[in-house]
């Protein structure tokens, strides 16, 4: 049991906030750019051969003498793709990331019955992680963003994307001092440094710059960016941070 009943009820009141119109395959509650048969009028356009006669606005024809058809928006289900980073570097925050992914999957489940909760639960640390080129819907990436190659993958995603940058307390404030041999969890690369106050300050500065660079990059590429700590309460992250950052509403 990942969540308690109270939290589950709170999740029921949440939904993903989408800035762009969606192109879903199934009808749902989301208005899409695809014209459909919903009751919500969107615009007029000139009649073209093949248009449905029932959509011709005859009143407007009576006043203007030209054929225009009325367009209505179509309500589609939001396709949500949840991508939780499973690389080795996620070890200290993988549990948090998986629970966050599960919470988002439950939110998505309220909009479509095909939410990927089972996929989230089946994730195992150390499995290969990649961002597929999703073309529609919403993509939520939960990662520590230590992989620079991730930028290229995200550029291939045409769907609306939210990037949740998760950092563990150890990454924010490294608990090392003195002469240390730092081993990269993913590549095994070693880096020998003497860690003193100066080095810790420099690290904090570089980390801030690293996060800022990701935030800027996401902004430039129209991605939603959110940074959160893995020791933060999940309820706060879901109900406060994600809502404030516009991922949920």
- Tokens coding 248: 């949920």
For the CB of residue 233, give the shortest distance to other proteins in the complex, in Å: 22
Residue of 206, 212, 213, 240 that binds other proteins (CB under 8 A): 206
- Least distance to other proteins from the beta carbon of 150, Å? 12
DSSP string, 187-206: T--EEEEEE-HHHHHHHHHH
Half-sphere exposure of 94 (CA within 13 A, CB side): 17
Q: Does 182 bind other proteins (CB under 8 A)?
A: yes
Rounded to a whole number of angstroms, the minimum distance from the CB of residue 234 to other proteins is 20
| Site membership for other proteins, residue 156 (CB under 8 A) | no
Residue closer to other proteins by CB (options 5, 198) is: 198
Nearest to 166 by CA among 98, 77, 80: 98
Q: Is 203 in the site for other proteins (CB under 8 A)?
A: yes
Q: Where are the alpha helices (DSSP H) in 13-76?
A: 58-64
| Sheet arrangement for strand 41-46 | 27-35, 68-76, 41-46
Sign of CA dihedral 52, 56, 58, 59: positive
Is 169 an interacting residue with respect to other proteins (CB under 8 A)?
no
Say how far apart CA 221 and CA 134 lie, in whole Å.
15
**Cβ at position 227, least distance to other proteins in Å:** 15
Residues in the chain: 249
Does position 17 interact with other proteins (CB under 8 A)? The reply is: no
Among 10, 15, 35, 210, binds other proteins (CB under 8 A): 210
74 in Cβ contact with 35 (< 8 Å): yes
Q: Does 185 bind other proteins (CB under 8 A)?
A: yes
* Contact with other proteins (CB under 8 A) among 57, 171, 217, 235: 171
- What is the token pair recorded at 185? 């969890």
- Output the smallest distance, CB 166 to other proteins, in A: 10
Question: Per CB under 8 A, which region of 53-61, 104-112, 122-130, 199-207 contacts other proteins?
Answer: 199-207
Classify 58 as helix, strand or coil: helix
Binding site for other proteins (CB under 8 A): 88-92, 144, 146, 148, 168, 170-171, 174, 176, 178-187, 189-194, 196, 199, 202-203, 206-207, 210
């Amino acid at each position: 049991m990942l969540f308690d009943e109270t939290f589950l009820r709170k999740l029921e009141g949440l939904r993903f906030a989408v800035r762009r119109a969606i192109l879903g395959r199934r009808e749902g509650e989301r208005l899409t750019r695809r014209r459909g048969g919903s009751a919500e009028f969107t615009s007029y356009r000139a009649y073209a051969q093949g248009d449905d006669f029932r959509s011709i606005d005859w009143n407007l024809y009576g006043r203007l003498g030209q054929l225009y058809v009325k367009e209505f928006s179509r309500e589609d289900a939001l396709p949500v793709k949840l991508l939780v980073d499973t690389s080795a570097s996620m070890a200290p925050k993988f549990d948090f990331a998986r629970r966050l992914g599960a919470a988002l999957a439950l939110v998505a489940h309220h909009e479509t019955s095909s939410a990927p909760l089972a996929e989230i639960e089946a994730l195992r640390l150390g499995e290969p992680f990649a961002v597929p080129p999703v073309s529609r819907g919403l993509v939520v990436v939960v990662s520590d963003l230590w992989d620079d190659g991730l930028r290229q993958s995200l550029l291939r995603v045409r769907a609306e994307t939210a990037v949740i940058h998760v950092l563990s307390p150890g990454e924010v404030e490294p608990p090392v001092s003195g002469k240390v041999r730092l081993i990269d969890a993913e590549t095994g690369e070693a880096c020998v440094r003497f860690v003193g106050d100066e080095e810790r300050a420099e690290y904090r500065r570089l980390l801030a710059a690293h996060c800022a660079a990701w935030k800027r990059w996401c902004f430039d590429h129209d991605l939603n960016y959110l940074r959160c700590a893995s020791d933060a309460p999940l309820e706060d992250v879901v109900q406060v941070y994600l809502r404030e950052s516009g991922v949920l509403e």
